[in-house]
Amino acid sequence: MSVKPLIRATSVGKDYSAGAVRALTNVSVDLYENQITAFVGPSGCGKTTMLRIIAGLDYPTRGSIAVEGNTVSGPGPERGMIFQAYTSFPWLTARRNVEYGLKILGIDKGKRRERAMEFLRLVRLDHVADHYPRSFSGGMKQRVALARTLAQGPRIVLMDEPFGALDAQVRWEMQELLIELVDAEPRTIVTVTHDIGEALYLADRILFFTRQPGRIKADLSLEFKQGKRFKRKEELYDMHGYRDMEQQLFAMMREEITAAGAEI
Ligand code: ADP
Ligand code: MG
């Protein structure tokens, strides 16, 4: 029995500036339900572009994306997006920020409140539900964004360097929180990162992109995890095969950076 892909990219290419910038070329890949996939690769390789095309926020120059067999032509409620920059509304409390996301889906007032509180509890912000995000730390702001997006119930969550702006310690707390959230309610996650450690911890599968024009250099399923997801990041380091995979990713990253002739 073959399992149908949830997301299918067929020969996706993307040019900018009338073809002067070739951001992506010939990306074909199938992504499956409840998998966590990380897009990894050097800066400028088209990771954000690919994610935005899946989100329907940008369109491919060549090829297409389909979600459950339907060609993507714009954003849809089954796809939620989380950006690096904090995107909560400063004039609304944390709870109202989450409720707002539900209001635009047409959910009635009583249910909105209940569901907003449920998701604020999950991201451990229920004690500050009626506070304004401007008084929050970066990690707390990003938890508001997570609660708002997840409360909308998307099957697919697309994240572009979601923890990239956070301090190292808050970043791993957020990574562990994300694993906890998908453990409680399975979702299909596509996350962009250039942090190899983050990709190794979060992902079931890593798609490594080449330098520009971006295409898939390697499609790695993280067999060393033995199908597990880890509550604590350090549990990963004991897994046989972890170091090898880490080395392989560093080598690929170096290869792409060096080939581009980049000087640091
Ligand atoms: P990454 O997220 O991997 O760092 P991006 O997808 O942001 O890479 O960008 C890929 C390439 O496309 C880069 O060279 C970038 O400058 C270019 N690019 C991205 N968006 C635009 C745009 N709107 N107009 C012109 N060039 C763009
Ligand atoms: Mg990017």
Ligand 1 atom index nearest CA of 42: 3
Rounded Cα–Cα distance for residues 203 and 39 (Å) = 9
Q: What is the mean pLDDT of the chain?
A: 94
List the alpha helices (DSSP H) in the chain.
47-55, 94-103, 109-122, 138-151, 168-184, 196-202, 242-259
Out of 39-43, 86-90, 93-97, pick the least confident.
Answer: 86-90
pLDDT at 90: 87
Ligand 1 atom index nearest CA of 50: 6
Ligand 1 atom index nearest CA of 39: 3
Is the pLDDT score of 263 beyond 60? no
- With pLDDT > 70 as the criterion, what percentage of the chain qualifies? 97
Considering only CA atoms, which residue is closest to atom 25 of ligand 1? 16
- Do 58 and 248 form a contact (C-beta atoms < 8 A)? no
Is the pLDDT score of 154 beyond 90? yes
Confidence label for 260 from pLDDT (cuts 50, 70 and 90): low
pLDDT at 194: 86
Rounded Cα–Cα distance for residues 248 and 222 (Å) = 12
Distance from the alpha carbon of residue 223 to the mean position of ligand 2, in angstroms: 27
Is the pLDDT score of 13 beyond 90? yes
Which residue, 196, 171, 169, 183, is CA-closest to 230?
A: 183
**Averaged over 154-165, what is the pLDDT?**
95
Residues with CB under 6 A from ligand 1: 16-17, 21, 23, 41, 43-49, 212
Q: Give per-residue pLDDT as tens, 64-79.
A: 999 999 999 999 999 9
From the CA of 164, the nearest ligand is 2
Rounded Cα–Cα distance for residues 156 and 24 (Å) = 22
pLDDT at 258: 87
Distance from the alpha carbon of residue 104 to the mean position of ligand 1, in angstroms: 30
Is the pLDDT score of 264 beyond 60? no
pTM to 2 decimal places: 0.95
**Averaged over 76-90, what is the pLDDT?**
88
pLDDT at 216: 98
Ligand 1 mutation pick, 12, 48, 53, 216, max ligand atoms within 8 A of CB: 48
Is the pLDDT score of 130 beyond 70? yes
**Averaged over 46-57, what is the pLDDT?**
97
Is the pLDDT score of 197 beyond 60? yes
From the CA of 209, the nearest ligand is 1
Ligand 1 atom index nearest CA of 46: 6
**Averaged over 194-210, what is the pLDDT?**
96
Read off the tokens for 38: 């990380």
**Averaged over 155-180, what is the pLDDT?**
94
Considering only residues 263 and 114, tell me which one the structure prediction assigns the higher pLDDT: 114
pLDDT at 66: 98
Confidence label for 1 from pLDDT (cuts 50, 70 and 90): low
- Do 190 and 37 form a contact (C-beta atoms < 8 A)? yes
Is the pLDDT score of 262 beyond 60? no
